[in-house]
A = this chain, B = another copy of it.
């Protein structure tokens, strides 16, 4: 089954990539953009089965995200 994982910096955690984007946009003609936060988007395929969600959750905690500074959400797509 396919899965999509969305990882974002936790609220309050400094996000230098987001800040850099936010500061660069006006020079390119885009005014008024705020609260830019840059995270990761991961697509993967994992074995079907009842434990898929739980397995993905553990993958996120152990490898994909850093739960101290990042939040994550995921979506399982049945095919």
User: Interface of A with B (CB < 8 Å)?
Assistant: 6-8, 18, 21-22, 24-25, 28, 30-47, 55, 58-59, 62-64
Contacts and interface: CB of A to CB of B under 8 A. Distances in A.
B8 A59 contact: no
Contact of A21 (B31, B58, B64): B64
* Copies of this chain present: 2
- Say what secondary structure dominates the interface of chain A: mixed
A41 B41 CA distance: 5
A28 B60 CA distance: 12
A14 B42 CA distance: 15
Nearest to A3: B33
Contacts of A62: 28
